[in-house]
Every structure is written in C-alpha cells, then in structure tokens.
Chain A
Amino acid sequence: MKEYTANEELKLREAPTETYVSNILRRLRRNRMGMLGLAMVFVVLVAVIFAGPLSFGKSPYAMLSPADLKPGQTTPEFMTPNRDHILGTDELGRDAWSRLLYGGRVSLLIGVVASLTSIFLGTFVGLVSGFYGGWFDNLIMRFTDTMMSIPTLPLMVVLAAVLKGGVLNLILILVVFGWMGDARLVRGVTLSLREQEYIEAARAVGASPWRIMFRHLLPNTAAPIIVSFSMSISSLIIYEASLSYLGLGIPQPTPSWGNMLYNAQNYIFSAPQLVWFPGLAIFFTSLGFNFFGDGLRDALDPKLKL
C-alpha cells in the first residue's frame, strides 16, 4: 500500500470537503447559457446604476429647445440617432438614451422590489400554512386558490385604475397578485419535510415552532425560491411594461421602459426607433434573468444533470 506524506494526507482529506455552495457555483460556471444570462444581467445593472455618467450628462427630463439646434437639424423632437443624441430624441425633444437608462432604473427597481416582496410574503404564508397544516392550511390554501383564480391582468388593470400609477402603487399591485406561486411552492416543500426525522428531532429537543420553521425548514426551500426570484423578476418587468402599455403604469414624466413604449406607439409610423430600444431593453433584461434563472435551476438540481 502506498505511503502518504503528511501533506498529501492533508490534501486527500480536504478534497471531498467542497461545500454545497461552491459546488453549485462551479456547476453554474459551467453552464454557458446561465453565465450568458449573468453577463446580460450584469450589463443591465451596470447601465442603470451608472445611468448618470453613461448618459453623458443629459437629463432624462430636459427638453431640447429649438435654440440648441445645430445647423442642419430642423426640430428638437423626433431626432434620429446622431452624435449628440445616440438614440435620438423623443416626442418632447428629450434625450432617448438618457431616458432609456433612467427608465431602466425604474423598471428594474420595480421588478426586483416587487419580486423580493412577493417572495417574502409567499414564503412566509407557505411556511406557516404548511407547518401548521390542518384547517388553517386549508383556509390559507383556499384563499391562495381564489387569488389564483382571479384573472391576473384584468384585475391588475382594475387595481391600477383605482390606485392611479406611481412606483410604490405599481409594486403593491404586482405583489398582491404575485405571492401565490411562491406560497404554494414553499408549502409543498414544507409539507414534504414536516414529517422528516430531523424535524421530529428538533421538536423533541423543544425547539419553538418559529425556530423549526426558520432554522430547519426555510433553508430547504432556498433553492426553488432563488430560481423563482430570478425568473419572476423577468416576468414582473414584462408585467410592469404591459400595464404601462395599457396606460396604467408609471405616470409621466418619470421614464420607465413601459411608459416609453406607451408613448412611442403613437409614432410607429414617424419614429419607429422610439419603439425599438425600450422594447429591446425589456427583452434583453428579461432574457438575461431567464437564462440566469434556468442555469441556476440546473446548478441547484443536479438530479436533472444525469
């Protein structure tokens, strides 16, 4: 039998102690589509965080006055892309590139915050409902089913019409109709784990229900929740845009990708470039989050790999 030196021995012992997280990260790194998604998300994040410097000092609100026109330019509105305005100007003579960056800030903020809030709410409801079970669970789940049975978009439209726009209101609307899926997911996991021996053991040593829920059950729901988070940002950005498109989103003059499209659709004949870019931005961002979420799911669920 081979003799090992102390150093080799140490290495051998260290080898299998790769942690769960680093294991996942390694698998994620190998997933080309997932990494592409991550890169896309990164690009978008950088663009909206550094919207100020990236817009070359042009305000998203400032309207170009006719006095600022350079020779050869006729009107400050509907300018096609040129050296001063890389995406041109909109119907009010505002810099489209600057609006795109700042609009992304708003759209992304809504997507991320609404998604996080829905997940917190959904996880809490699912955890409590699944843990306590019985009539309580039944009641909560009937309510969840009821909420799911109401057609989302029409009801969002009603709520948006009642609440009259605004970032916070929009987030509220998206959360009200966004938590049910996560609640069901977490409840399912909780139900399947509730009877496991280690939960029994925790109970036997006198852990409080809250401790069991948050220390023992919650970590097990982390994987599906993280995937759901990434994917739901994508769908919430699209929802925000859809509501804005129907004229129920963020009110002017605050830019968001949705309301930029809403305005631009009136000029598809005269200035189609105004439609191109906000739509591409939504598409790019949501594709990025979807790719990333899918890569994450593959990394978290090695079962599917084999």
Chain B
Amino acid sequence: MDNREILVDIKNLRTFFYTEDGVVPAVDGIDLTIHRGEVVGLVGESGCGKSVTALSIMRLIANPPGKIVGGEIFFHGEDLLKKSDDQMRLIRGDKISMIFQEPMTSLNPVYTIGDQISEAITLHQKIDSAEAKKRTIDMLHLVGIPEPERRFSQYPHEMSGGMRQRVMIAMALSCNPELLISDEATTALDVTIQAQILDLMRGLQKKLGMAVLIITHNLAVVAEMAETINIAYAGKIVESATAKEIFKSPRHDQRAIASHRGHGPVPLSHAQRLPF
C-alpha cells in the first residue's frame, strides 16, 4: 500500500466524557494511520468523535470531564499517551500543531497577532525576539497576509475571519510541524473564503510537505485534498479507503449509517451531496 514511513498510528483510541448525565464514549475504539507527508481526511457528522480524536492526539482533552481511557497514539513509534505533560508540551506546536474551527475566538484578544505567533516560535526555538519577529513576518507573508509588517502589531479584532484563520495557520506552521491537524478550519468561513483557505492549505502542504489531518463534516472539503479518507460514526471508524475508492463505492455513506440506526435506507444520488 503506502510505503512511506508511518508518522502517526492510532490504535483503539477510547476517549470518554464523564458528564452529570452519564458517560459519553465520544471516541470508542478509533484506529487511524497517517504516513509522513500524507493528507488524511477524517469525516463524519457532528458528535461522531472526530474533533475529540484530534484533541486526543494533542492531549488537549479537558479533564474533567474528558479522559483518554484506552488505546495508543504512536508518533514516530513512541506512545504519546505515555509521555509526561512536559514532554507532550514540547511536541505540541512544534512537531504537531492544530488549527481550530473558530477563527474569531481562537486568538487571544488582548495580544497582537505578532506577539501570538512569535510566542509559538520562541516557545520551541532558542532565538531572540528580533529573529522571532522576522520569522513571524515571513510566516505572515507565507500565508498570504498583505503588509505583514503592519499586520504584525494589529490585534485580532482588527482582522476579518479569513485573515484570522490565516494567522492561525501561520502560527501552526511557524515551527515546521510534521503533522498539522485542521479541525473544521474552514467551516465557520464564507464559501469564497473557505475556498481560499483550502487553496492556501493545499499549496502550503505541497510546499512544506507536512502530513495533514483534515477533520470536517463536509466530504467536498476533503475530496480534492485527501489521499485517504476515514469516515467516523459514533466514535468508531466505519470506513477507511483512498479518496477514489470512497467516491466510487461508498459503503458507509449516509445510507449505511441510516440503516445502522434502524431506519430504512435513505436514497442518495451522489456521494458529494452527503448532508453530513
């Protein structure tokens, strides 16, 4: 199959949430493999555990109420779940980084965007602030933000949603990560901006060659970009195949899921119209 080196290997991951109303098995035995430089899609309806999978890789599950109760997440052959908080911290933002769904609220309102990107750099690299500033401006330039020198000292509220998401991407890529996790990064944006950001991410992936895990509920988003697509349902991967295979013969599309629930099959004419 794929002869590239395996970068991330998730085995039987289980992340549960302990709420007042009982235990929610958000992720209940997910297996997922990401090769070096590969673009992997993780698709599913909301609540199927895809974001929780991402946060589990980052070890950012809020505890309480969440807890990773089982499984392994191998990164370069080492189990991330066995690492200490400090070791994990050094990996986050450096080797693995993540961009989130809400560009409007994901940036700290009281610091300039320059501050926030430089922080990501200086946390992981021993460079002085002038050097960090230079690198930040380069990154802003890289993600297509015009006038990066001026933008450096602007606050998040002075920017549009699309611009803020570009800032988030710049921040995530600032330390040249080996894996970038994009959790619904374009969902909150307008359709045209969405296309621009996707374009940018595609371009950057080609240029920098990092592996990307794209999490979305929208098959169309991953259709063009991902090599492998995993479809999650109710905390499990129900189908994993190359993009081509999925669109040719969907086994676990909405029809499969619907029958899984005990209702009759829902007629569908084309996979791309899946209303996930």
Measured CB to CB, the residues of A under 8 A from B are 1, 27, 30, 302, 305-306
The answer to the question of B65 belonging to the interface, with a C-beta cut-off of 8 Å to chain A, is: yes
| Selected A-B contacts with CB under 8 Å, 8 pairs | A1-B262, A27-B20, A30-B20, A302-B20, A305-B19, A305-B20, A306-B19, A306-B65
Q: Number of residues in B with C-beta < 8 Å to the partner? A: 4
Name the residue on B nearest A18 (C-beta). Answer: B21
**How far is A306 from B77 in the complex, measured between Cα atoms in Å?**
34
Measured CB to CB, the residues of B under 8 A from A are 19-20, 65, 262
Taking CB atoms, residues of chain A closer than 8 Å to B65 are 306
Taking CB atoms, residues of chain B closer than 8 Å to A30 are 20
Taking CB atoms, residues of chain A closer than 8 Å to B19 are 305-306
Secondary structure dominating the interface of B: loop
Name the residue on B nearest A16 (C-beta). Answer: B21
**How far is A30 from B19 in the complex, measured between Cα atoms in Å?**
13
Report A292 CB to chain B, min CB distance, Å. 19
5 smallest CB-CB distances across A and B, nearest first, come from A306-B65, A305-B20, A27-B20, A30-B20, A1-B262
Name the residue on A nearest B262 (C-beta). Answer: A1
**How far is A110 from B20 in the complex, measured between Cα atoms in Å?**
37
Report A9 CB to chain B, min CB distance, Å. 11
Taking CB atoms, residues of chain A closer than 8 Å to B262 are 1
Name the residue on A nearest B17 (C-beta). Answer: A306
Report A4 CB to chain B, min CB distance, Å. 9
Taking CB atoms, residues of chain B closer than 8 Å to A302 are 20
**How far is A306 from B66 in the complex, measured between Cα atoms in Å?**
10
Report A8 CB to chain B, min CB distance, Å. 13
Additional 6 contacts, C-beta under 8 A, given A27-B20, A306-B65:
A1-B262, A30-B20, A302-B20, A305-B19, A305-B20, A306-B19
Name the residue on A nearest B62 (C-beta). Answer: A306
Taking CB atoms, residues of chain B closer than 8 Å to A1 are 262
Report A17 CB to chain B, min CB distance, Å. 14
**How far is A1 from B263 in the complex, measured between Cα atoms in Å?**
12
Report A153 CB to chain B, min CB distance, Å. 36
Q: Which of A1, A27, A302, A306 has the most CB of B within 10 A?
A: A306
Report A229 CB to chain B, min CB distance, Å. 24
**How far is A302 from B21 in the complex, measured between Cα atoms in Å?**
11
Q: Which of B19, B20, B65, B262 has the most CB of A within 10 A?
A: B20
Taking CB atoms, residues of chain B closer than 8 Å to A27 are 20
Taking CB atoms, residues of chain B closer than 8 Å to A305 are 19-20
